[in-house]
Structure 1
Amino acid sequence: MSGFVFHVGANALCPHGGPVTTVSSNARVKVSGQPVATLTDTYLVTGCAFTVPTAKPQPCTTVQWLVPASRVRVGGQAVILQSSTAICQSAEQIPQGPPNIVATQTRVRGI
């Protein structure tokens, strides 16, 4: 599964429209002037609109990547690709669905 390399400045949304923010520990390898995202980075969701049930809302708060790049690594960690598989989770780690990668750089591809 190949795809463009995901990076800190790329746009991703949770299934309910909340933007995903990437907090990268990588400061060396960059694409489009932004650090490349890896499997061990932190992915936070803010502004998720999922508020059902009303007694105890479960909005998305984090993204857990399940299938990163198989051949591309940065600092020994697998890189996240536009085609990588992930799941958004609530604060209680309840699965909420996959994130949607809206825009990323289009120069560097990985496998």
Structure 2
Amino acid sequence: MATALLTTGSSLQCPHGGTVTIASTNTQARAGVALALASDTFSIAGCPFQIPVGTGSVPHPCVQVRWTKFNQSCKVNGQPTLALDSKGICLAADQAPQGPVSIVQAQPLVQGS
């Protein structure tokens, strides 16, 4: 079944409202912008998450996304693409899991199976 694919123009957020930026290595498959690949770099900025410590707190923001479920049937140069049903986990700089990434908007005109 076809589903909307993610592109570098898609909108994603960490569970705390940080913004995900996609830096793609894909230079071939484009829909105005590059299709996002599971192997691309997904950086997070603006995450306000803090860990309570004693009477204060320590910043522990989400900084990247690691994909755990991606589109195996639609690939670009052997690399899996990402779709609305893909699953990713947001990680802190120390690789601690922070929660699931939210796909806010994908490219509805580009679909894969």
Measured against the shorter chain, the TM-score band is over 0.9
Higher-Rg member (1/2): 2
- Aligned twin of 2:11: 11
Q: Is the 8 A contact 1:24 1:38 kept in 2?
A: yes
1:43 and 1:79 map into 2 onto residues whose CA distance is: 13
- Aligned twin of 1:65: 67
**What pairs up with 1:49-60 in 2 under 5 angstroms?**
49-53=48-52, 54-60=56-62
**Structure 1 segments unaligned to the other structure (5+ residues):** none
- Aligned twin of 1:22: 22
Instruction: State the Cα deviation string for residues 14-73 of structure 1 (Å, max 9, x = none).
Output: 000001000000011112x00001011000000001012354321100000011102000
Instruction: State the Cα deviation string for residues 70-92 of structure 1 (Å, max 9, x = none).
Output: 20000110001111011000000
Q: Is the 8 A contact 1:6 1:105 kept in 2?
A: yes
Q: Is the 8 A contact 1:14 1:98 kept in 2?
A: yes
Aligned residues: 110
Residue identity (%): 37
**What pairs up with 1:76-87 in 2 under 5 angstroms?**
76-87=78-89
1:108 and 1:83 map into 2 onto residues whose CA distance is: 14
**Structure 2 segments unaligned to the other structure (5+ residues):** none
Structure that is richer in strand per residue: 2
Q: Is the 8 A contact 2:48 2:59 kept in 1?
A: no
- Aligned twin of 2:36: 37
TM-score, reference length from structure 2: 0.91
- In the TM superposition, what is the alpha-carbon distance from 1:3 to its structure 2 partner? 2.6
